[in-house]
């Protein structure tokens, strides 16, 4: 088909008009969805790319932001060779939806790259994936599509360990090189890291071949690579390069040797786009954007979507609501986490470094149940698939290899002992296994996760073979017997540390025992090898860890969700990472990343405007502290209600189950917030921060008065046989208590997690909602801004401490020592214009102040001129 074809002439103007509202690769997808002929689409793509190349030849190098870049990538063409081959390869093992997801996500990344015809470019981007969730598939697809469009050199920095480098090289050979062997020249191999080729000029002159280098982040290797590129510098001008930094937060940021060497490699390449890939981007987002050797993603940040089948932090651990979210819509976490009692931890890892050499781990009750469940789950998987698949258990107790090795003898002894008992039909063990099976399958029913139910009798038939097949592997750099998934189906209990916490995949991971002591966000998330896809056994994974560690992962799930929301805002609001820094929520007991990686970070501000903050967690133990907690909170609530009755005005229009006092002085709310205690797990409900926020708003004229409501039930609403406790309020009136039950997945009897305190319409207690039926938080916030500007709302809930559960995923509340538990929620209106305040909150962000300094009389007013100056001075290679 020629460009003079009348179909092309007629379609071209329509195609160009579509580009005004969507990027080229999206337009291509729209055309395909409308069943436009494939050959016509292909011609339109070719013409677009010809036109784009003409524009680029007349332009200076691209600016800082992708918003300022020429949209050039229009998606795959029918004469492409690399992507169609990889796509067909993926379709052999993945369903079409998964392949389409990889296609779409990689299109977005390639569209952010520089056009390979650009005379010179040096870009920095970041792609945020998920732990154990297909980052390699994404950057392989990106490599295919970039190669099909003219990128010639591909350098993949693959972690700091040989095992991960070999694994990555082997995957790229399988998924890239072998599918089109004539198009690729491998400079590295699985056996050998970078060895400088003798004649770089000949390699770089062969325009019909792409060069592939998979390189470890090692000083010796990177130095050789830099010197080789330097020797070939005169031949690199016509060699557009893509450098993919896998695990981009590891070694790349704030290291005295590796960081400048990677920067030095990039300096040798006149046309290069650097794209970091990581699931834990905290260090990358907090690094100095103005540093000469900075890997701050100044040009773009993208967050990869996750498949619904992915079991990530929020799926497993649950999380807190984000601003504007309805708490009822927030996942509470699957009931797969089993807590290791604190008294057992000392038997699973040494408490002090001095104890390492003599440490001897014990098979504690928790570890025993974990291993037995691993064998039962492995047997159940064999029932379902009728074959032996890879099945792994991880024990991550310490970073020291001596601790790893100390596990070998007790684990082998336990395996042999159980194998013998199973073989001779030991009744006591059989009863223990049955109890474990029935308990676990009751807590996580297979059918609720769309898996096939397996009976205990079916699983037991495969149990003896599963135990016999189990190998105990100590996987660390000194070990001679490492994990091997290439020699057939492996059933392993792997004990390890750092080598198992970065990139390396434990195939078929079913059970994890995690007692490693670490308080750093990125380190903890990378150690979470249990995140990922579990096809055919979504109901079987279990994670054993101490209670505090579980709470930390719940916090991390909230941090991650909030961070990704901020990354998505960059695209929605058309901002670059140099215009808006992504904020990262902090924790009082945890560090975001290593101190050396966040030296340039600054405290960021956050405001409660428009937020709903509520009680979610309550102490429920029998100890004296819990009783004092609830007694003090009751006193705090009663003092607020007394003040409300004395200084506010009661709204007589409320039904018998509710009370509302209007225009209560803000000082009374400050006193209440200062005395009422939110549980420490409610990271968004910090009394001191809330008090500081209210005080600042009051100084600027806002939140001077509040409305205070009580939400119970009418005493007559309960039948006599089900009468719940009643509460007498300071004004002499009586309300009945409400029911709130705890999540069964919380796993801690001493803390009651009710997930949601407020109802969907409660936030509108003091508003006239008229005939509104479709109520959500956005509507309620807007109505508050219209009806009750600069007036907050306190909602108080008297909860029956013995509330009974009626759903399978819930448990009775059972809070001892308190007849009534008082829950509290604070509703903050959005500030009126001119009254907005920002209170320092627990957030960190990159310091952008040196990238775009405050304007002075000596600085150019034109922002584009300022950016060009900065591009040439601050980010010059």
CA distances from 673 to 614, 708, 729, 756 (A): 12, 13, 19, 20
Same domain, 77 and 175: yes
Q: To which residue do tokens 């081959």 refer?
A: 85
The reported pLDDT for the residue numbered 19 is 67
Q: Can you list the positions of beta strands (E) in 672-724?
A: 705-711
Does residue 32 form part of some domain? Answer: yes
The reported pLDDT for the residue numbered 35 is 72
Same domain, 299 and 363: no
* Residue 853 near residue 867, CB atoms below 8 Å: no
Q: Say whether 325 sits in a helix, a strand or coil.
A: coil
Does residue 85 form part of some domain? Answer: yes
C-alpha to C-alpha distance for 545 and 541, rounded to whole angstroms: 13
Alpha-carbon dihedral sign for residues 106, 112, 118, 122:
negative
pTM, rounded to two decimals:
0.68
* Residue 589 near residue 556, CB atoms below 8 Å: no
Q: For 1-12, how does the pLDDT look when each residue is reduced to its tens digit (9 = 90+)?
A: 444 556 666 677
* Residue 150 near residue 110, CB atoms below 8 Å: no
Residue 857: pLDDT band (50, 70, 90) is: very low
Q: To which residue do tokens 């480098």 refer?
A: 165
- Does residue 834 surpass a pLDDT of 60? no
- Report which of residues 777 and 219 the model is more confident about: 219
Q: For 266-280, how does the pLDDT look when each residue is reduced to its tens digit (9 = 90+)?
A: 999 999 999 999 988
* Residue 280 near residue 518, CB atoms below 8 Å: no
Does residue 146 form part of some domain? Answer: yes
Query: Could you tell me the two tokens for 131?
Result: 């732990």
C-alpha to C-alpha distance for 19 and 16, rounded to whole angstroms: 5
**37-41, 388-392, 790-794: least confidently modelled range:** 37-41
The reported pLDDT for the residue numbered 873 is 30
Same domain, 69 and 41: no
C-alpha to C-alpha distance for 852 and 825, rounded to whole angstroms: 40
Instruction: State which of 58, 86, 101 marks the end of a domain.
Output: 58
* Residue 783 near residue 764, CB atoms below 8 Å: yes
C-alpha to C-alpha distance for 334 and 543, rounded to whole angstroms: 11
SS3 per residue for 2-31: CCCCHHHHHHHHHHHHHCCCCCHHHHHHHH
Same domain, 37 and 154: no
Per-residue pLDDT, averaged over 357-364, amounts to: 94
Radius of gyration, alpha carbons of the chain: 30
Q: Can you list the positions of beta strands (E) in 397-540?
A: 470-475, 491-496, 509-514
Same domain, 79 and 12: no
Same domain, 298 and 433: no
C-alpha to C-alpha distance for 419 and 170, rounded to whole angstroms: 36
C-alpha to C-alpha distance for 471 and 293, rounded to whole angstroms: 45
Residue 503: pLDDT band (50, 70, 90) is: low
Same domain, 394 and 251: no
The reported pLDDT for the residue numbered 58 is 40
The reported pLDDT for the residue numbered 387 is 93
Query: Could you tell me the two tokens for 374?
Result: 């691993």
Same domain, 259 and 355: no
C-alpha to C-alpha distance for 293 and 601, rounded to whole angstroms: 16
Q: How does DSSP assign 240-259, residue by residue?
A: -EEEEEETTTSSSSS-SSHH
C-alpha to C-alpha distance for 446 and 377, rounded to whole angstroms: 12
Same domain, 15 and 30: yes
Per-residue pLDDT, averaged over 146-154, amounts to: 95
Instruction: State which of 58, 77, 104 marks the end of a domain.
Output: 58
Highest mean pLDDT among 30-44, 328-342, 582-596: 328-342
Show contacts of 12-16: CB within 8 Å, 24+ apart: 12/44, 12/47, 15/44, 15/48
The reported pLDDT for the residue numbered 28 is 79
Query: Could you tell me the two tokens for 22?
Result: 């969507």
The reported pLDDT for the residue numbered 599 is 78
- Does residue 108 surpass a pLDDT of 80? yes
Q: For 623-666, how does the pLDDT look when each residue is reduced to its tens digit (9 = 90+)?
A: 788 899 999 999 999 999 999 999 999 999 999 899 999 999 99
Does residue 24 form part of some domain? Answer: yes
Does residue 103 form part of some domain? Answer: yes
C-alpha to C-alpha distance for 285 and 125, rounded to whole angstroms: 11
C-alpha to C-alpha distance for 761 and 770, rounded to whole angstroms: 12
The residues that bridge with 493 in the sheet, in sequence order, are 393, 472
Does residue 780 form part of some domain? Answer: yes
Residue 231's CATH number: 3.40.50.300
Same domain, 524 and 512: yes
Does residue 326 form part of some domain? Answer: no
Same domain, 40 and 102: no
How many separate helices (H) and strands (E) can be counted in the chain? 26, 28
- What does the mean pLDDT of the chain come to? 84
The reported pLDDT for the residue numbered 604 is 64
Does residue 563 form part of some domain? Answer: no
Q: Which residues contact 75 (CB under 8 A, 6 or more apart)?
A: 24, 25, 28, 29, 45, 107
Helix H or strand E segment including 742: strand 742-743
- Does residue 861 surpass a pLDDT of 80? no
Query: What is the extent of the structural domain holding 34?
Result: 1-58
Which pairing describes strands 658-665 and 705-711: parallel, antiparallel, or unpaired? antiparallel
The reported pLDDT for the residue numbered 546 is 92
Q: What is the number of structural domains in the chain?
A: 4
Residue 495, Cβ neighbours under 10 Å: how many? 28
Same domain, 73 and 109: yes
C-alpha to C-alpha distance for 261 and 290, rounded to whole angstroms: 18
CA distances from 645 to 662, 709, 729 (A): 9, 11, 10
Alpha-carbon dihedral sign for residues 764, 768, 773, 777:
negative
The reported pLDDT for the residue numbered 53 is 64
Residue 864: pLDDT band (50, 70, 90) is: very low
Per-residue pLDDT, averaged over 95-103, amounts to: 90
C-alpha to C-alpha distance for 253 and 274, rounded to whole angstroms: 14
Instruction: State which of 804, 827, 850 marks the end of a domain.
Output: 827
| Residue 300 main-chain phi, psi, to 5 deg | -165, 155
Residue 875: pLDDT band (50, 70, 90) is: very low
What is the arrangement of strands in the sheet containing 820-827, beginning at the earlier edge strand? Answer: 612-614, 820-827, 791-800, 705-711, 658-665, 649-650
């Amino acid at each position: 088909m020629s460009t003079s074809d009348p179909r092309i002439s007629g379609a071209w103007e329509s195609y160009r008009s579509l580009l005004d509202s969507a990027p080229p690769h999206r337009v291509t997808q729209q055309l395909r969805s409308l069943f436009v002929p494939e050959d016509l689409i292909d011609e339109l793509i070719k013409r677009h790319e010809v036109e784009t190349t003409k524009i680029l030849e007349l332009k200076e190098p691209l600016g800082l932001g992708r918003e300022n870049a020429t949209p050039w990538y229009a998606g795959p063409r029918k004469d492409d060779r690399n992507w169609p081959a990889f796509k067909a390869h993926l379709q052999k093992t993945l369903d079409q939806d998964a392949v389409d997801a990889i296609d779409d996500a990689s299109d977005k990344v390639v569209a952010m790259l520089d056009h390979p015809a650009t005379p010179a470019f040096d870009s920095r981007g970041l792609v945020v994936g998920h732990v154990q969730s297909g980052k390699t598939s994404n950057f392989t697809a990106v490599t295919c599509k970039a190669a099909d469009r003219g990128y010639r050199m591909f350098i993949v920095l693959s972690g700091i360990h040989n095992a991960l480098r070999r694994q990555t090289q082997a995957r790229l050979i399988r998924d890239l090189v072998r599918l089109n062997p004539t198009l690729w020249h491998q400079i590295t191999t699985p056996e050998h890291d970078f060895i400088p080729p003798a004649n770089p000029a000949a390699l770089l002159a062969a325009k019909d071949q792409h060069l592939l280098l998979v390189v470890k982040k090692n000083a010796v290797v990177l130095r050789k690579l830099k010197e080789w590129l330097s020797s070939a510098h005169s031949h690199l001008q016509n060699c557009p390069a893509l450098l993919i930094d896998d695990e981009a937060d590891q070694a790349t940021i704030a290291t005295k040797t590796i960081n400048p060497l990677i920067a030095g490699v990039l300096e040798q390449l006149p046309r290069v786009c650097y794209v970091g890939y990581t699931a834990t981007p905290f260090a990358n987002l907090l690094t100095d954007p103005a540093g000469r050797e900075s890997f701050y993603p100044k040009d773009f940040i993208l967050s990869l979507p996750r498949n619904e089948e992915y079991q990530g932090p929020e799926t497993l651990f649950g999380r807190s609501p984000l601003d504007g979210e309805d708490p009822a819509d927030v996942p509470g976490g699957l009931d797969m986490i089993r807590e290791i009692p604190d008294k057992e931890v000392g038997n699973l890892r040494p408490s002090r470094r001095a104890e390492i050499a003599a440490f001897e781990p014990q098979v504690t009750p928790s570890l025993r149940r974990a291993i037995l469940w691993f064998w039962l789950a492995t047997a159940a998987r064999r029932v379902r698939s009728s074959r032996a698949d890879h099945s792994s258990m991880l024990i991550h107790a310490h970073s020291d290899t001596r601790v790893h090795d100390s596990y070998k003898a007790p684990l082998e002894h336990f395996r042999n002992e159980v194998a013998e008992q199973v073989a001779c039909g030991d009744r006591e063990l059989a009863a223990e296994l049955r109890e474990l099976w029935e308990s676990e399958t009751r807590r996580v029913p297979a059918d609720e996760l769309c898996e096939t139910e397996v009976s205990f009798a079916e699983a037991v038939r495969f149990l003896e073979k599963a135990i016999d097949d189990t190998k105990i592997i100590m996987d660390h750099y000194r070990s001679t017997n490492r994990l091997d998934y290439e020699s057939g189906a492996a059933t392993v209990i792997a004990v390890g540390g750092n080598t198992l916490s970065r990139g390396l995949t434990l195939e078929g991971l079913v059970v994890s025992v995690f007692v490693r002591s670490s308080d750093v966000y990125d380190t903890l998330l990378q150690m979470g090898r249990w995140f990922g896809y579990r096809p055919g056994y979504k109901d079987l994974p279990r994670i054993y860890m101490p209670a505090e560690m579980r709470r930390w992962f719940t916090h991390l799930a909230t941090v991650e969700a909030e961070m990704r929301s901020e990354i998505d805002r960059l695209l929605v609001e058309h901002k670059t990472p140099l215009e808006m820094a992504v904020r990262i929520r902090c924790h009082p007991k945890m560090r975001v990343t290593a101190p050396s990686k966040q030296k340039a970070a600054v405290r960021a501000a956050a405001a409660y405007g428009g937020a709903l903050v509520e009680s979610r967690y309550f102490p429920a133990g029998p100890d004296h502290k819990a009783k004092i907690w609830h007694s003090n909170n009751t006193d705090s609530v009663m003092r607020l209600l007394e003040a409300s009755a004395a200084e506010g005005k009661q709204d007589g229009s409320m039904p018998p189950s509710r009370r509302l006092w209007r225009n209560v002085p803000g000082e009374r709310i400050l006193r209440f917030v200062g005395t009422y205690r939110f549980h420490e797990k409610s990271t968004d409900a910090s009394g001191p921060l809330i008090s500081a926020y209210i005080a600042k708003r009051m100084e600027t004229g806002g939140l001077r008065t509040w409305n205070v409501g009580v939400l119970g039930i009418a005493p007559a609403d309960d039948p006599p046989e089900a009468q719940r406790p009643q509460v007498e309020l300071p004004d002499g009136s009586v309300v009945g208590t409400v029911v709130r039950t705890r999540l069964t997945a919380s796993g801690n009897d001493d803390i009651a997690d009710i997930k949601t305190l407020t109802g969907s319409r409660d936030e509108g207690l003091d508003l006239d909602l008229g005939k509104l039926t479709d109520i959500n938080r956005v509507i309620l916030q807007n109505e508050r801004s219209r009806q009750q500007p600069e007036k907050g709302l306190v909602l108080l809930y008297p909860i029956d401490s013995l509330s009974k559960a009626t759903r399978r995923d819930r448990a009775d509340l059972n809070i001892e020592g308190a007849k009534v538990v008082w829950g509290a929620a604070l509703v903050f209106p959005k500030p009126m214009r001119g009254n907005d305040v920002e209170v320092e909150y627990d957030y960190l962000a990159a310091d952008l102040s040196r990238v775009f300094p405050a304007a002075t009389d000596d600085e150019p007013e034109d922002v584009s001129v300022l950016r060009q100056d900065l591009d040439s001075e601050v980010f010059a290679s």
